[in-house]
Amino acid sequence: MTQSRKLFIKTYGCQMNVYDSERMAEALGGNGYDEVGSPEEADMILLNTCHIRERAAEKIYSELGRYKELKQAKPDLKIGVAGCVAQAEGAEIMRRQPMVDLVVGPQSYHRLPEMEARAGGREKVIDTDFPEEDKFAHLAARPKAKRGPTAFLTVQEGCDKFCAFCVVPYTRGAEVSRPAERILTEARDLVDRGVRELTLLGQNVNAYHGQGPDGRDWTLARLIRRLAEIDGLARIRFTTSHPNDMSDDLIAAHGDCDKLMPYLHLPVQSGSDRILKRMNRSHTRDSYLRLIERIRDARPDILLSGDFIVGFPEETDNDFRDTLRLIEEVGYGQAYSFKYSTRPGTPAAERAQVEEAVKDARLQELQALITRQQRAAQDAMVGREVGVLVERPGRMPGQVTGKSDHLHAVHMTADLNPGALVRVRIESSGTNSLAGVLV
Ligand code: 5AD
Ligand code: SF4
């Protein structure tokens, strides 16, 4: 019998990390751990870190500093660091924070239960390998617990694109696609447990090329079409995509696969060809715009989302204006924007940097434009009838809230359980959500 112990996981960064944390919690369940909501109660603290933002490692070191007293009060407390900072920093983490017992990179999570058993006391355990095997296949099977109506499912990891600003190819490694059969099995299991909407995850998800049951490589579109055959699964989404991997069959799927939702996150990063080239994006402003046109031909009401970087090295005011013009031309329903910040080891880190004040001003201007577009896209839903998947009770008594097909938050007065898929007529548009009535 393993004794019951308590695990606290703090997750930073992207949805892939959220998924990874779920899987790690389940795997450590096999070592006798149950998840708890605060570090004070925990017998083990695991930070699942992200390296994409500025000063990521420094933030983790200061977070770890906060656990010093906990560790002093409870010497058996195990502290682990996972995720992309673990991959990037490796043993350096233990040199700087000797109270850390375990460091595990994203490709080694299936080894975590065995590492946990060894770690503690004087035993420090590090694994930042890139092993060949599919870690998800080796993580312990989930208990048959009920799930909420939405879930993430990682289908692909890593990236071979090497954008000049990005650490992902270094921290997550080369691109690997999971075999289709494993994904289908996991999807069926999730649906059996109450999931109605799946978001397929990958750093470069539309480059998916996993082995199909027929022995051939499947595209993401093929995988989506097969997933769409699962009874009880109502909605499919995927993120994040690269423009160059937006294949014809995936575009077509947006037009003819009912379960594939009309929302696409397709980062362009910049609207200037000069900067795109220096970013090593291998697409142009024009090829991106033509691609958007084709996607909209297939699915006219699709809501587009993007990522933008301002102040990339050598970005002039003209380059920045090109980005604003591109945003005007596309019309985004949602976007994420960032000031460029250096990542040691990436090519752009070595180049002449744009002044901070200039970056600030550009970010503000870009975000104001995006906010206007976002609001316009949301307001345009008023009067329309949309599908809504109910996720939880709303803020007001008698209300429920969920997401529309276009991923807008929608609330309504109705007596419905999470998982209900309903048609709703939108009546008004607020700051961050829509209000509607059941039809
Ligand atoms: N600086 C600023 N933003 C970055 N991103 C990735 N690396 C950097 C960086 N060094 C942004 C990109 C990417 C998103 C996930 O994070 O826009 O699409
Ligand atoms: Fe990073 Fe995305 Fe570029 Fe890959 S495609 S290097 S994950 S920004």
What band does 144 get if pLDDT is binned at 50, 70 and 90? low
Q: Is the backbone of residue 195 left (phi > 0), alpha (psi -120 to 50) or beta?
A: beta
Using CA atoms, how far residue 1 sits from 4, 30, 32, in Å, is: 9, 11, 9
Q: Which of 108-117, 124-133, 401-410 has the lowest mean pLDDT?
A: 124-133
Over range 357-376, report the average pLDDT.
97
Quote the pLDDT of residue 53.
74
What band does 138 get if pLDDT is binned at 50, 70 and 90? low
98 CB-side CA count, 13 A: 3
Amino acid at 41: E
Cβ distance 254 to 299 under 8 Å? Answer: yes
| Pairing outcome for strands 399-404 and 334-339 | unpaired
What is the distance in A from the centroid of ligand 1 to the CA of 197?
A: 27
Protein residue with its CA nearest to atom 5 in ligand 2? 161
Tell me the Cα Rg of the chain.
Answer: 22
What is the distance in A from the centroid of ligand 2 to the CA of 161?
A: 6
Ligand 1 pocket, mutate which of 12, 54, 163, 165 (most atoms under 8 A from CB): 165
Over range 291-297, report the average pLDDT.
98
The ligand 1 atom at the shortest distance from the C-alpha of residue 307 is: 17
Quote the pLDDT of residue 1.
46
Using CA atoms, how far residue 425 sits from 304, 334, 412, 418, in Å, is: 22, 21, 10, 19
pLDDT in tens, 238-290: 999 999 999 999 999 999 999 999 999 999 999 999 999 999 999 999 999 99
Ligand 2 pocket, mutate which of 14, 84, 87, 161 (most atoms under 8 A from CB): 161
Quote the pLDDT of residue 204.
94
Top-confidence residue, 121 or 42: 42
Over range 4-27, report the average pLDDT.
91
* H or E element at residue 357: helix 356-379
Average pLDDT in the chain: 93
The residue written with tokens 């976002």 in the block is: 374
The ligand 1 atom at the shortest distance from the C-alpha of residue 348 is: 10
Spatial separation of the C-alpha atoms in residues 417 and 394, rounded to whole Å: 11
Top-confidence residue, 89 or 284: 284
The ligand 1 atom at the shortest distance from the C-alpha of residue 342 is: 10
What band does 3 get if pLDDT is binned at 50, 70 and 90? low
Per DSSP (E only), the strands in 160-254 are: 176-177, 197-201, 235-239
Q: How far from chain centre, in Å, is Cα 88?
A: 19
Share of the chain above pLDDT 70, in %: 97
Ligand 1 pocket, mutate which of 338, 341, 367 (most atoms under 8 A from CB): 338
Amino acid at 232: G
Ligand nearest to the CA of 13: 1
Over range 217-241, report the average pLDDT.
98
Amino acid at 408: H
Q: Does the CB atom of residue 269 touch ligand 1 within 6 A?
A: yes
Q: Does the CB atom of residue 338 touch ligand 1 within 6 A?
A: yes
What band does 52 get if pLDDT is binned at 50, 70 and 90? confident
Quote the pLDDT of residue 57.
85
Edge-to-edge strand list for the sheet holding 150-154: 150-154, 197-201, 235-239
Protein residue with its CA nearest to atom 7 in ligand 1? 166
What is the distance in A from the centroid of ligand 1 to the CA of 53?
A: 7
Read off the tokens for 134. 């599919």
Share of the chain above pLDDT 90, in %: 82
Cβ distance 172 to 208 under 8 Å? Answer: no
Phi and psi at residue 324, to the nearest 5°? -60, -40
Over range 342-364, report the average pLDDT.
94
Over range 204-227, report the average pLDDT.
97
Read off the tokens for 414. 């109705």
Spatial separation of the C-alpha atoms in residues 114 and 9, rounded to whole Å: 18
Ligand 2 pocket, mutate which of 14, 166, 309 (most atoms under 8 A from CB): 166
Q: Provide the 3-class DSSP secondary structure of residue 393.
A: strand
Ligand nearest to the CA of 363: 1
Read off the tokens for 156. 């692909």
Over range 148-169, report the average pLDDT.
94
Quote the pLDDT of residue 79.
96
Position 141 pLDDT exceeds 80: no
The ligand 2 atom at the shortest distance from the C-alpha of residue 281 is: 3
pLDDT in tens, 299-347: 999 999 999 999 999 999 999 999 999 999 999 999 999 999 998 889 9
